[in-house]
Amino acid sequence: MKILRNPKQKKVLYGIGLILLAAFPFLITNSYYLHVCISIGVYILLATSLNLVTGFAGQLSLGHAAFYGIGAYVGALLMLNFDVNFFLAMIASAVVSGLFGLLLGLPTLRLRGDYLAIVTLGFGEIVRLVFVNWAEVTRGPLGLPGIPSPSIFGFQISGRTAFYYLIIVLVLLTLFVMNRIVNSGVGMAMQTVKIDEIAAESIGIYPIKYKLIAFVVAAAFAGIAGCYYASYIAYISPTTFVYNTSVTILAMVVLGGLGSIPGSIIGAVILTLVPELLRFMSDYRMLIFGALMVFMMIFRPEGFWGASKRVKNIYKIKAGGGKNGSDSGDNQRHN
């Protein structure tokens, strides 16, 4: 990772990465690959947002798919029934999902570990049952077909290439926001809550506040992912927003490396690609996938890109009279 230490080289690398991402649809014309890329993008939104809750604030949530689903249904219903513009619908999705995050988090975030896990899991099940049973609005198990594509200033976004660019923009936006949050006082406060709540309280941090912030922000981004997904696939049904999806997202976060944004990205990429790559052995692929999860946890529990690789001074200010970046080599944690 030596090349990443120099900020200038880092910028060049990011630049090359961006150009590659932008050029991807021209290099690869197979639309199946584009579809896989878009799926990865959606999962990056979901995984990085869940990482804020589980990786940074240390709260185990097994109901992330519920917020994803709420966002999808809110977005789809607004676009279908009220002809709301996609981008407004997306904001509405974020707001409504975030509100549900607040609603669930407020009474339950003082519960410890496993208890919170089951409550979020139960919430996920309840939300799914509402999708299935509230047929007047959601059409129940039949789902909602014909969700329109977005349009910007009269230009219709349609076709996989356009959706590909849209998800790239959303991913970059999400990564920007997550990065800013994590490298701020709020993000640091979340981490203290994860490490030791009593110590955090002893320095004036109210744990529930930061758990709630993490929860609401994560829910809002899951909502955005849901709205995007609804518009991309054009059809949603309750079967997408199930417990298994929550588990897959959590697995991405944990396998990638808790408390690490690059980790969540890697987790999303790998867990989307592995089942696709194992497709040739279709019958055995999920079997192998399950076994891989176990082995990974035995042999590399910190994930592919654990938090131990995070940059040290997360406040991103060099101490020592405000000198900047003189010894960025020290910024990398030595393991």
Partner 1 sequence: MFTQQLMNGITVGGVYALIALGYTMVYGILKIVNFAHGDVFMMGMFLGMFFTQSLGLHYLIAFPLAAAATAFVGICIERIAYRPIRVADKLAVLISALGVSIFLQNLAMLVWGTETHTFNSGITVQTYRLGSVTLSNIQIGVIVLCCVLMIVLYVVVNKTKIGVAMRATSHSIVSAKLMGINTDRIISFTFGVGSVLACVAGILVGIYYDAVYPTIGYSYGLKAFAAAILGGIGSIPGAMLGGFVIGIVETFGAAYISSGYRDAFAFGILIIVLIFKPSGILGVKHVDKV
Partner 2 sequence: MAQILETINATIKFGGLTAVNSVSITQEEGEILSLIGPNGAGKTTLFNLLTGVYRPTEGNIKFYGEEITGLKPHERVDKGISRTFQNIRLFHEMTVLENLLIANPDCHRESIWEAVFGGRKLRQKRQRVVEKCEGILKAIGLEDKLEELATNLPYGKQRLLEIGRALSTDPKLVLLDEPGAGMNSLEKEELSRLIYYITTDMKKNVLLIEHDMKFVMGISDRIVVLDHGEKIAEGKPEDIQNNPLVIEAYLGKGIPEDDDD
Sequence letter at residue 75:
G
Name which position in 115, 180, 295, 301 contacts partner 2 (CB under 8 A): 180
Encoded one letter per residue, x for contact with partner 1 by CB under 8 A and - for no contact, window 37-76 reads -----------------x-----x----------------
DSSP result, 162-216: HHHHHHHHHHHHHHHHHHHHHTSHHHHHHHHHHH-HHHHHHTT--HHHHHHHHHH
Query: In the structure encoding, which two tokens stand for residue 133, read together?
Result: 């049973």
Query: Other C-beta atoms within 10 Å of 125: how many?
Result: 16
DSSP H helices, 52-152, are 64-82, 86-108, 113-133, 135-138
Q: How far is the CB of 112 from partner 1 (least distance, A)?
A: 7
Rounded to 10 degrees, what is the CA torsion of 277, 282, 283, 285?
A: 10
Binds 31, which of partner 2, partner 1, none (CB < 5 to 8 A, cut-off by type)? none
CA dist 44 and 178 (Å) reads: 11
Instruction: Tell me if 297 contacts partner 1 by CB under 8 A.
Output: yes
Q: Collapsing DSSP states into helix, strand and coil, what is residue 2?
A: helix
State which of positions 94-123 bind partner 1 (CB under 8 A): 107-108, 110-115, 117-119, 121-123
State which of positions 212-241 bind partner 2 (CB under 8 A): 213, 217
Instruction: Tell me if 243 contacts partner 1 by CB under 8 A.
Output: yes
Q: Between 37 and 250, whose beta carbon lies closer to partner 1? A: 250
Q: How far is the CB of 88 from partner 1 (least distance, A)?
A: 31
Encoded one letter per residue, x for contact with partner 1 by CB under 8 A and - for no contact, window 163-202 reads -----------------------------------x----
Name which position in 129, 172, 273, 277 contacts partner 1 (CB under 8 A): 129
Name residue, tokens 């185990």.
60
Binds 113, which of partner 1, partner 2, none (CB < 5 to 8 A, cut-off by type)? partner 1
Could you tell me if 234 and 146 are in contact, meaning their C-beta atoms sit under 8 angstroms apart?
yes
Instruction: Tell me if 185 contacts partner 2 by CB under 8 A.
Output: yes
Phi, then psi, of 240 in degrees rounded to 5: -75, -30
Through-space distance between the first and last CA atoms of the chain, rounded to whole angstroms: 12
**Contacts to partner 1 by CB under 8 A:** 54, 60, 107-108, 110-115, 117-119, 121-123, 125-126, 129-130, 132-133, 198, 243, 247, 250-251, 254-255, 258, 283-284, 286-287, 289-294, 296-298, 301
